[in-house]
Structure 1
Amino acid sequence: MPPQGPRELRVVVFVGPSLPPSARPDANGLIWYPPASRGDLDKLDLDPDVRVVLVDGYLIRQHPPSPTEVFELVARGHEVWGCSSLGALRAAELRNHGMNGFGWVYDRVVDRTITYDDELVATLDPRTNEGTGLFLANVRFGLDQLVAANQVTQPQARSIIDGLRAVHFELRTSALCRDLAMSAGLTEPAIDHLLRSDVKRQDALALVRHLTTSVVAQ
């Protein structure tokens, strides 16, 4: 029997604003689906060896896939991963039932630093589905980095988080975050770092790269 070549890369990814098209890696066998809504996972008709990654799903104006729907996908034999947004929430809920979680957002949901779904949503551009508002999870990540670097104190970080939590997610803008950061006494370089932080994208990109590398290597 001739030696077999590398297995074909087969990963389905449900994603939206966490990893916009311009940031997605170009790899054969990666299949990009839009954010998941209720019933989308039930409709999948794939071989069990196809990995499924749940990054983004509808959390506000449509019903997202339920934990039961995700679990049934696992029960059908798929390796299912979650990160960044809805995927991190479902992975935390099903971490003892066969779903794999990945990344900073997932870890913060598990340790209950993030306890509100609205930390993972923001206003979107209806034409591109990219975020135009501020994701509170990204701000939280940026503040963690600044605190670790001794550029921000814990009380300063808490005041910014509390200020953003006090308003509806649609009102969480870069301008508001900048105002809160300035009032808390952050320096301009610290504010710029904070507004550039995007752990949702970082987690999604790292997971996709991890899975594509591991499949090719098998």
Structure 2
Amino acid sequence: MHSRKIIIFTGPSLSHSDASDILRADYRPPVRRGDVHEALSDKPDIIGIIDGVFHQSPAVGHREIIEALRMGVTVVGGASMGALRASELYDLGMVGVGRIFRAYLNGDLESDDDVAVAFNPETLEALSDSLVSIHFNFERALESGIIGEDDFRELMKIAKNLFYPLRNYQRILHDAEIPENRKASLMSFLESEGRDIKREDAIEVIKYIKGLLSSDDQDHGCETHGS
């Protein structure tokens, strides 16, 4: 029986402990340039890329992911850096999962700024909100009639103009020139119904990889412990 080696790079989108509740694997911090190449020495069967660094140090290279694919490693991406790279390397065999991946693939998202967040290097917790989740939630507030078209446009303009480590709902609402009662309604909506799209997609990536293991079990008629 071949126990499959799975390496997954995640952090601010989904904590290692929450990911481990879904699937046992070798969880590593957000991927940097060289990390995938280095991971290949551990002979993984599957590499999952969720989070990665964007600006603090060089981002994960296309070449090292292509190297993994050529070696027969299944590489799955989604949610953040993984969604971006999967959309770029989709034609070469990288698997993309989730709403954010599809948005990059069809051109609705183009910039890494849409998914970039600041995170605590010790705990890997997110310290800012992603533009992709902000846009999704403000759009839902608009559809629900909590804010109007002009409010939505102003809120998104402020969000886009903020440097990503400073981008959060409190800051955006503080800077927006919209009536206080609408601000209060919007904040209440965000607290009760706000969704974290990156987290949702990250969970989808883990579940997709788990699904690969169960289909592999059926193909080989054996039980696999994915770690």
**Which TM bucket (shorter chain)?**
0.7 to 0.9
Tell me what 1:198 maps to: 196
| 1:15 aligns with one of 4, 10, 25 | 10
| 2:30 aligns with one of 26, 29, 35 | 35
Question: What is the distance in 2 between the residues matched to 1:111 and 1:65?
Answer: 22
Question: 1:45: Cα distance to partner?
Answer: 2.3
Tell me what 2:206 maps to: 208
Question: 1:86: Cα distance to partner?
Answer: 0.7
Structure having the larger proportion of residues in helix: 2
Question: What is the distance in 2 between the residues matched to 1:114 and 1:152?
Answer: 23
Question: What is the distance in 1 between the residues matched to 2:110 and 2:87?
Answer: 11
Question: What is the distance in 2 between the residues matched to 1:82 and 1:186?
Answer: 37
Question: What is the distance in 2 between the residues matched to 1:216 and 1:75?
Answer: 24
Is 2:65 the partner of 1:67? no
Tell me what 1:90 maps to: 85
* Segment of structure 1 superposing worse, 8-17 or 87-96: 8-17
AA partner of residue 56 (structure 1): D
AA partner of residue 14 (structure 1): F
* Secondary structure of 1:12's aligned partner: strand
Counterpart contact for 2:9–2:28, Cα < 8 Å: yes
Tell me what 1:167 maps to: 162
* Secondary structure of 2:76's aligned partner: strand
| 2:137 aligns with one of 142, 149, 155 | 142
Deviation string 1:80-126 (CA, Å, 9 cap, x unpaired) is 11111111110010111101111111122223232221222222223
Query: What is the Cα-based RMSD across aligned positions, in Å?
Result: 2.5
* Secondary structure of 2:20's aligned partner: coil
Deviation string 1:17-71 (CA, Å, 9 cap, x unpaired) is 11123432325641101111111111122446x1111011111111111112211
| 1:51 aligns with one of 37, 46, 67 | 46
Counterpart contact for 1:9–1:29, Cα < 8 Å: no
Counterpart contact for 1:13–1:52, Cα < 8 Å: yes
Question: What is the distance in 2 between the residues matched to 1:27 and 1:172?
Answer: 30
Is 2:74 the partner of 1:76? no
Against the structure 1 CA distance between its residues 201 and 176, is the aligned structure 2 distance closer, same or farther, given a 3 Å change threshold?
same
Counterpart contact for 1:79–1:99, Cα < 8 Å: yes
* Secondary structure of 2:7's aligned partner: strand
Against the structure 1 CA distance between its residues 193 and 53, is the aligned structure 2 distance closer, same or farther, given a 3 Å change threshold?
farther
Is 2:107 the partner of 1:112? yes
Question: What is the distance in 2 between the residues matched to 1:115 and 1:28?
Answer: 30
AA partner of residue 21 (structure 1): H
AA partner of residue 45 (structure 1): S
Question: What is the distance in 2 between the residues matched to 1:81 and 1:67?
Answer: 14
TM-score normalised by L of structure 2: 0.81
* Segment of structure 1 superposing worse, 30-39 or 163-172: 163-172
Question: What is the distance in 1 between the residues matched to 2:137 and 2:100?
Answer: 12
Question: 1:133: Cα distance to partner?
Answer: 1.6
Question: What is the distance in 1 between the residues matched to 2:183 and 2:168?
Answer: 19
* Segment of structure 1 superposing worse, 79-88 or 18-27: 18-27
Question: What is the distance in 1 between the residues matched to 2:152 and 2:64?
Answer: 37
Question: 1:16: Cα distance to partner?
Answer: 1.2
